[in-house]
Amino acid sequence: MNALPATIVAALASVLGDGPVPLHEPHFDGNESRYLFDCVASTYVSSVGAYVDRLEADLAEFTGAKHAVATINGTSALHIALLLAGVQPGDEVLVPALSFVATANAVRYCGATPHFLDSQESTLGLDPAAMRSWLAEISTMKSGECVNQATGRRITAMVPMHAFGHPCDVVGVMEVAAEYGLPVVEDAAESLGSLINGQHTGTFGLLGTLSFNGNKIATTGGGGAILTNDTQLAKRAKHLTTTAKVPHRWEYNHDEVGYNYRMPNINAALGCAQLEQIDSFIASKRRLYDIYLEALRQVNGVTLFSEPRGSRSNYWLQTLILDKDKVDQRDEVLETLNDNGLMARPAWTLLSSLKPFLGCPSAPLTGARLLEQRIINVPSSAGLA
């Protein structure tokens, strides 16, 4: 065994003890059982019930968004947000190549094509400077619309994603988007509780989306939400995600093609209890970062990723960054950690390399490719601290 994998394992084991230790598991230490029993007793366990309304209100208050609309998962939230932003079949949408597959899948659900952009090491998210240079090179403005000169397709939206809970430079992204008249839809699936200059991620763009999957910092089992400050967009989001049914005491009248993306009340009940504990979850994860930082202080060849300047991260997943001259040891580090019961995962395979998206337009991905080779996520559950 090379020295680096063994040293990393020893450092993490000094914090975590013997395995198995999962990458991330939910933490239930509040009113989860109480609210779930109450929901079952009410018989309103499906798409209608008080907990859905409560979760939406609680999310709006916590994030500072004017409106929150609960959905069945984060991908459905992103799909609807892109539709509301005006994405149409045949369009292109700018997304990071370094992201979970849902970011690109949601673009495809709209009948549009993802257009992949590079990421920066300092945030793990979209690189505004590289984006500006790329758009200046490949796009032109026609009748007030941004058009890809190579494909002839309209570029109609931009989707910054906050990787592993760390805020990207969304302010810089917004500036570039404004230059080209593009609405911004934030993929904040992983960043509940993360702030940029005191403002919650997902509230900078026209719309933002969250995920409450079982592995997220707060969970509803499966679920998501759309955030927006636009009242009309919020009303339309609610309409589209509830099968576009026109309200009536008994008639089933649907005025357009809608989507059955409603969050069940029983999931929302779980989410309400989780959101009550979100501050303690974040505090625990930030303590775990400090503990890891101390344990890894004497380990050469790897760095624990720290929240970007001016931001406050929820540290959803603790992230190791291998030195550039150690990328050839990534798989051995992963294998050694997992063999020792410490679950670890690499970054996602770049979306531009996945079979469904081969041939999609792409900027040079120098930064994203290097990050793909260097990132290792290690156990990050809130209970570990």
pLDDT digits 0-9 by tens, 23-63: 999 999 999 999 999 999 999 999 888 999 999 999 999 99
What percent of the chain shows pLDDT beyond 70? 99
Q: What is the CATH number of domain 3-26+278-353+359-384?
A: 3.90.1150.10
pLDDT number for residue 48: 81
CA distance 304 to 291: 11
* Location of each CATH 3.40.640.10 domain in the chain: 32-276
Q: What amino acid occupies position 170?
A: V
pLDDT number for residue 18: 86
Assess whether pLDDT exceeds 70 at residue 1.
Answer: no
279 C-beta neighbours (distance < 10 Å), count: 11
Q: Which architecture does CATH list for 32-276?
A: 3-Layer(aba) Sandwich (3.40)
Q: What amino acid occupies position 251?
A: E
Assess whether pLDDT exceeds 90 at residue 123.
Answer: yes
CA distances from 340 to 12, 51, 299, 326, 334 (A): 10, 41, 18, 21, 10
- For 184-216, b/e burial (b = at least 16 CB within 10 A) is bbbbbbbbbbbbbeeebbbbbbbbbbbbbbebb
Backbone φ and ψ for 226, nearest 5 degrees, come out as: -105, 130
**Beta strands 154-158 and 318-322: pairing type?**
unpaired
Q: Could you report the per-residue pLDDT of 258-284, keeping only the tens digit for each?
A: 999 999 999 999 999 999 999 999 999
* Cβ burial, residue 251 (10 Å; 0-12/13-18/19+): exposed
* Location of each CATH 3.90.1150.10 domain in the chain: 3-26+278-353+359-384
Q: What amino acid occupies position 299?
A: V
* Cβ burial, residue 344 (10 Å; 0-12/13-18/19+): buried
pLDDT number for residue 214: 95
Strand, helix or coil for residue 102 = helix
Q: What amino acid occupies position 265?
A: N
pLDDT number for residue 370: 98
pTM of structure: 0.97
pLDDT number for residue 327: 97
Q: Could you report the per-residue pLDDT of 179-191, keeping only the tens digit for each?
A: 999 999 999 999 9
Number of H helices, E strands in the chain: 12, 16
CA distance 22 to 266: 26
The per-residue pLDDT of the chain, averaged, comes to 97
Average pLDDT over residues 123-129: 98
